[in-house]
Amino acid sequence: MITISRRRFLALTGGLLATGCTASRATKTPDAVPGSTTTTTSTPTTTGVVTTIATPPEVAAGDRVLVLVELRGGNDAVNTLPPLTGAYRDMRPTIALPEADVVLTGSLPGHGLHPSLAPLTTFAESGRLAALAGIGFPDPDRSHFVSMDRWARADRLDEQAGWLGRWLDSLPDDLTALGATSLGSRGDVLSGAVRNPTVIDDVDAFAFPADLSNASIRLLGDPLSEDPLLAAAQRAFVDSVGAIEEFDAIADAVRAKAADRPADDLGQQRGAFSTGLAVAAEMILGDVGTRVVTVSVAGFDTHSDQLATHADLLADLADGLTGFWATLDAAGEADRVLLATTSEFGRRVRENASSGCDHGAAGVSFLMGSSINDGLHGALDTSNLLDGDLQAQIDPRVLFTACLDWLGGDVEQILGRRYDDITLLA
């Protein structure tokens, strides 16, 4: 018998489907394990910060979901999480945030939040937000492409698979069509050696051409050809139909909720974060077997006129995050989900001559959920720079270790070893 890997099949048939769907079918995930709610005290790595949070009921690893929110272009950590020091303002005479505008919260000592992120204070004060300040790989590279590869592959550039793709490859059963989904990018972090994500660049465009019905596409798979390659193509077409049909209901739910927004919001177009995270929430609630979702939005390469652009992007991010968690909270599903933000690097501390800032090194990631050690981990130390950049204090693989632990993955197999410098999960 001749067999063909999914990666090989995709290479042969990559131009055939207009949907961008490369999905596999599978069994459903197990039900959550019920448990009781208790109260415990967690102590973040920052000295003196102790937050009392409610421990949620235990959720089986097979029923957990991970959402990665990618801030593409290199998000400016210094204005996202401004340090409360004079040095910050000295090095940014025109783009430093006014002191009166910085949002303060007791869980992030020595730092504030960009005013556009003010809605996140609710999560910070309820123990559902952690900030990883100074996150970045050793020996930083200011190239977008190299840095994105390092984040996607967990700094193992000799491998083609992303670190979550390696986890997907390790699963004993096939995924559902929307089990691993990339919204807004090609999903390098989800690409494995034998499994690949469903890629959805545009919610409204995720469909076959109008003159092709789902029923007519299904006919291509019946009966299956005796030729292995053609049979694989037939199954892929049928899988694509399943993904599109399942996603249709999700997209309809997102549109319906958008139409129900308050009248004063109806004239405002939903941003990419708000739309992507609304889709992610509906996928989690839609019983379609979703395990991992990435939501990718570009625009953070702020070399010039940064203030307005960055404020708009972060406002959309905050709107998307608050809407995402509100949807899950209302359905009682929030405890199943861990969400993390990433960006390929931070930006230089000193502003440039174009009212922006150039490619830097260490940045900031946020971790959100009801099972995290909240508060501030690390710091944005503007007094100890490396060639004008923030020095890395937290290896990204510390975050990856927590994400894989959440999913029940074999961290040592996937990353080579564990990175337990900070305990991020409660």
Q: Which domain holds residue 375?
A: 6-415
- As a whole number of angstroms, the distance between CA 292 and CA 197 comes to 9
For residue 92, how many C-alpha atoms fall within 13 Å in the half-sphere facing its CB? 29
Residue 357 lies inside a defined structural domain of this protein: yes
pLDDT (0 to 100) of residue 215: 66
Phi then psi dihedrals of residue 309, to 5 deg: -60, -45
Q: From the CB of residue 104, how many other CB atoms can be counted at a distance below 10 Å?
A: 11
Among 11-25, 132-146, 154-168, 199-213, the least confident range: 11-25
- As a whole number of angstroms, the distance between CA 360 and CA 344 comes to 10
Among 37-46, 123-132, 372-381, the least confident range: 37-46
Per the structure, the count of domains in the chain is: 1
Q: How far apart are the first and last CA of the chain?
A: 49
Phi then psi dihedrals of residue 342, to 5 deg: -135, 160
More confidently predicted of 119 and 172: 119
* Tens-place pLDDT, residues 161-187: 999 999 999 998 778 889 999 999 999
Query: What residue has token string 């990419």?
Result: 272
Q: From the CB of residue 78, how many other CB atoms can be counted at a distance below 10 Å?
A: 29
pLDDT (0 to 100) of residue 143: 96
- As a whole number of angstroms, the distance between CA 350 and CA 343 comes to 19
SS3 string, 47-86, reads CCCCEEEEECCCCCHHHCEEEEEEECCCCCHHHHCCECCH
Taking the mean position of all CA atoms in its chain, how far away is CA 119? 19
User: Taking the model in full, what pTM does it have?
Assistant: 0.83
**At residue 32, does pLDDT exceed 60?**
no
At 355, is the pLDDT very low, low, confident or very high (cuts 50, 70, 90)?
Answer: very high
How many residues are recorded in the chain? 426
Among 131-135, 211-215, 278-282, the least confident range: 211-215
CA 149 to each of CA 145, 146, 225, 377, 405: distance values in angstroms, whole numbers, following the listed order: 6, 5, 38, 24, 22
**At residue 221, does pLDDT exceed 70?**
no
163-170 vs 396-407: helix crossing angle, rounded to 10: 20
* Tens-place pLDDT, residues 244-254: 888 888 988 88
Residue 343 lies inside a defined structural domain of this protein: yes
Residue 82 lies inside a defined structural domain of this protein: yes
Token pair for 18: 């207009």
Residue 190 lies inside a defined structural domain of this protein: yes
At 93, is the pLDDT very low, low, confident or very high (cuts 50, 70, 90)?
Answer: very high
Token pair for 260: 């129900």
Across the chain, mean pLDDT equals 84
Residue 421 lies inside a defined structural domain of this protein: no
More confidently predicted of 56 and 97: 97
For residue 276, how many C-alpha atoms fall within 13 Å in the half-sphere facing its CB? 27
CATH number of the domain that 290 lies in? 3.40.720
- The DSSP letter of residue 345 is -
Torsion-angle region of 90 (φ positive above 0: left; ψ -120 to 50: alpha; else: beta): alpha
* Tens-place pLDDT, residues 291-309: 999 999 999 999 999 999 9
Mean pLDDT across the stretch 8-12?
33
pLDDT (0 to 100) of residue 59: 85
Mean pLDDT across the stretch 374-382?
96
pLDDT (0 to 100) of residue 179: 94
Residue 387 lies inside a defined structural domain of this protein: yes
**At residue 270, does pLDDT exceed 90?**
no
* Of 369, 361, 324, 321, the residue nearest 343 (C-alpha): 361
Residue 1 lies inside a defined structural domain of this protein: no
Residue 92 lies inside a defined structural domain of this protein: yes
- The DSSP bridge pattern shows strands 198-200 and 180-183 to be parallel
